Amino acid sequence: MSCNENLVRVGTRKSPLAMVQTNTVVQRLQDIFPDKEFEIIPMSTTGDNILDTALAKIGEKSLFTKELELCLQKGEVDFVVHSFKDLPTTLPPGLVIGTVYKRDDEHDAVVMHPKHKGKTLETLPKGSVVGTSSLRRIAQLQRKFPHLIYSDIRGNLNTRFKKLDEGDKYDCIVLAVAGLERMGWSHRIDQKLLPNTCMYAVSQGALAIECRGNDKATLQMLSTLSDYESSLRCVAERAFLKTLEGGCSVPVCVHTEIWKNQMYIRGGVFSLDGKEGYVDSNMKDLPSDDEPPRKKRASMREDGFLCVVPTGYDPEAFARAEEAGIELAQKIIKAGGGEMLQLIKAKMAADIIAEKTRKEALRKVAEASTVNVTADACC
């Protein structure tokens, strides 16, 4: 907390969607803690500033979180609101997920160009261009809709809508349902992609509130917003991703549900062209009300599960959700998914080097042109 005990400083990205999400969280906290004063501090991140390169070719981790986390570590803000899918499975030292806010619709959606209103991916003409910056989406959709062309698109939601509606490059774009609904644009959804067509990204649709692990006052405050089911599902999904040693740019996808005290997780790994894939599922019983607590496990995991702090909940449930994700990943690795992921990472690393080389060559050409122009001016 800041020196003023009633002032709480909240970090967020500057994008319109990030601001809407942060305002939602702050308003809930303001209702619960009317004596607190909340100050929202918007920031730009590396991912916000690099818009001319596909995410998979940038070659940096924490693209949308690094700058925010540095401010958090320095004590310049008390907590940060993130789209949970942007957060790596390992956080910087001293930082934790203090709360997982109730998850919204986790699925992907297709938004059509106005000229294709009423169509679906199945009915789009052959050669239609689908805009998405997600390798996960491309890999899965190419398997189902090989008659379409997939092209990278960057920018915040407003920018992507403008590129779609006012240009001729894209026939449709694929976005997260949650983001569209939070922005009040659910009327633009032409098709929702269910898991049998396109499984979603790890933690998609959930908001993570990150804070310092030793800030007990902030942790206690944030615990009032924690959603039990959303937390368990995200822990299982993040355990799956971490065990695969994947990242938010790798074509890894999931689908989770909690049925009658059981954690169900289905997940997949696909080649970049979508032609190969490994998909499997796993089920894990969650502890029942009459089951005795395992205090040893609880005391061992006070630092959280995949950095999620189970404040006020049974740590045993979080441990089993984590196990569900780990076991599923191990099954897929054993089946051949691990080897395929290594090939994907090698290909992506080569692409990153090639992109950096290309940009460096362009920079040198630009510098040479500037020198020549200056020399001509002197003459």
List Cα–Cα distances, 339 to 25, 272, 343, in angstroms. 41, 14, 7
pTM of the complete model: 0.86
Listed in order, the ranges of the chain carrying CATH 3.40.190.10 are 7-105+202-339, 108-193
pLDDT for 131-168, tens place per residue?
998 999 999 999 999 999 999 998 889 999 999 999 88
DSSP 103: P
Say yes or no: domain 7-105+202-339 is CATH 1.10.150.120. no
How many other C-beta atoms are found inside a 10 Å radius of the C-beta of residue 233?
A: 29
What residues are annotated to the active site? 86
pLDDT for 164-207, tens place per residue?
999 889 999 999 999 999 999 999 999 999 999 999 999 999 99
Backbone angles phi, psi at 215, to 5 degrees: -90, 80
For the four alpha carbons of 130, 131, 135 and 137, in that order, the dihedral sign comes to: negative
In what helix (H) or strand (E) does residue 79 lie, and over which residues does it extend? strand 79-83
| Nearest-angstrom CA–CA distance, 186 and 321 | 31
pLDDT for 92-135, tens place per residue?
999 999 999 999 999 999 999 999 999 999 999 999 999 998 99
| Nearest-angstrom CA–CA distance, 83 and 208 | 6
The single residue listed with the structure tokens 């940096």 is 60
CATH among 3.65.10.10, 2.60.40.10, 3.30.1050.10, 3.40.190.10 for 108-193: 3.40.190.10
Q: Which of 180, 182, 33, 183 is nearest to 111 (CA)?
A: 180
pLDDT at 60 over 50: no
| Nearest-angstrom CA–CA distance, 126 and 275 | 19
